[in-house]
Chain A
């Protein structure tokens, strides 16, 4: 039937759209970066020797394959700066994710237990910061955290600090934690809220009715049922936090190593495109494991919802 045929084409077209999107905006740029990462640095414009010259024909391409340079990756493995940056990024992202979860869960729980009419307003308050530029919000934290900033002023006003004492938080790893937790809190709160709001209150009543004290009911009923939201929130915070550049650059000290910052330095200060590309490729590989895990968790959630 012609109608069936056209609808099949329509379906293929709809499915093709996200694949084309990924191909154009993810896979193609990635191949470019991968190519640069396998080249050698040069004082030129652009600052590397291209490995492949696609205009040179197939035979040349095959010959080039044999001359691929993994020197940049060897360089990364040999220099503890890069390894330390990766490990430090993972640690900072992990600690921030845990802190965000600890702060975000009570907020989401409070929102989900608020009267129905109040919930959209609370939701609005969580989303409201997005209406201001991310960069401006991080700059605002400089104003708060700097030694002569608002926090010090507040401390002096309420008497925690004597007149000449100052908080020394800015340019430390603590400031980076504050910045990440603040910036990514909505990404934790929203999926948690979505999971907790769906939770049927009578389940907790049933648990108590069957002899389960309220606190235990929280652990055996609320947490397992909110787990898909917890997992989603954690990945939404962890994955971008690993590659975070702006927050450590503006709030962190010179000793705050994060891979995003190292990459930026390599790219713009050292103009070493091949090495910075190798850093980017490795960062992606490091993140691919949690991303795949996240997708599987999401799939499980969807299957459970069915």
Chain B
């Protein structure tokens, strides 16, 4: 990659190393349920110590793919390899992989300690070892005082920890997390995301998480695979997924984005993007091999600036004139909806063909002398390299 995008989490990128051997390999996997193709010929490598996220809307095949690794689904075509071994036909109870279920699936007739000990007992470990490991797991998830409780005597967050401890107790080669935080409230979910990351780093294990929550995937994962209709749209680290989406689908699915349709042209050696809906062409900086013609640009709302006075023209500055249509004050940021048109209009006579840009502006000062108000004429600007050119 020519340019580093966003913060680098840590010097860990085995996927960029051609000599690295993957821990998990999905090889040309197809899964059909009757006429329905849940997974359509996908291949994926996941490396040891990686925190990998499968992200997509419900029904995109992400859970099916994970369940194949656990052994609850078998591929119609293709193979699943773990440590170089084909495990496609190995039954779930013989796989060195454990899963944390979305519903937690805690055994209601067993205490917390017995739940955690369950997998260890199946391996026939000596009682002393089991006891020691259960205590270790209880302290790992800070649930020592609750060892003798039944699952129905615990809160949602505590149950989530028991499920995590139970799935970690056997020290699996891979831990599968199926929407692990879906049942928690927002604040607890955010806390737990960081705890999961710390835990994964501390244990040095490989985690595979399935989620439909893009923030969750962005927070915890080293790499994210964005799935749609049974195939991968993009597999990249979170910052690349966000800043360099490779398709309109990914750009739209991850975070907020402004999408403008038009055409890519070359004018006097420079690349510009133009559209009938826009008053002037916009400078863009696509990779050199991008052909001219029909295209779309994606600009994140926080990359935009809004000003009441006309900024000076500069090279590589994209500028559009518009009218403030709507303002949402969120405290930390304000969101401006700017119609790219000079005229002021009300809701009834809004022309749907006029594009509206969303700009997120950080409220960096407490008091502003002349805040931007409804119906103000404003200029929206951004740096040309902030816009990503995508095929339409």
Q: Show the binding face of A for B, using Cβ within 8 Å.
A: 200, 202-203, 205-214, 221, 224-225, 304
Contacts and interface: CB of A to CB of B under 8 A. Distances in A.
A211 B98 CA distance: 9
Interface residues of B, number: 25
A205 B72 contact: yes
Majority-rule SS of A interface residues? helix
B99 interface: yes
B84 interface: no
Interface string B156-169: 00000000001100
B103 A213 contact: no
A205 B101 contact: yes
15 contacts: A202-B103, A203-B105, A203-B107, A205-B99, A205-B101, A206-B99, A207-B107, A208-B71, A208-B93, A209-B92, A210-B166, A210-B167, A210-B170, A212-B93, A212-B122
Q: Which of A200, A207, A211, A221 has the most CB of B within 10 A?
A: A211
Given A202-B105, A203-B105, A209 B99 contact: yes
A203 B107 CA distance: 7
A208 B91 contact: yes
Contact of A213 (B71, B93, B167): B93
Nearest to A305: B152
A267 B194 CA distance: 79
A174 B73 CA distance: 46
Nearest to B122: A211
A211 B170 contact: yes
B123 interface: yes
Given A211-B93, A213-B93, A205 B123 contact: no
Contacts of B108: 225, 304
A208 B101 CA distance: 12
Contact of A207 (B91, B102, B118): B118
A211 B107 contact: no
A207 B92 CA distance: 9
B118 A210 contact: yes
B93 A209 contact: yes
Nearest to B176: A209
B119 A210 contact: yes
Contacts of A211: 93-94, 119, 122-123, 170
B370 interface: no
A22 B329 CA distance: 68
A208 B92 contact: yes
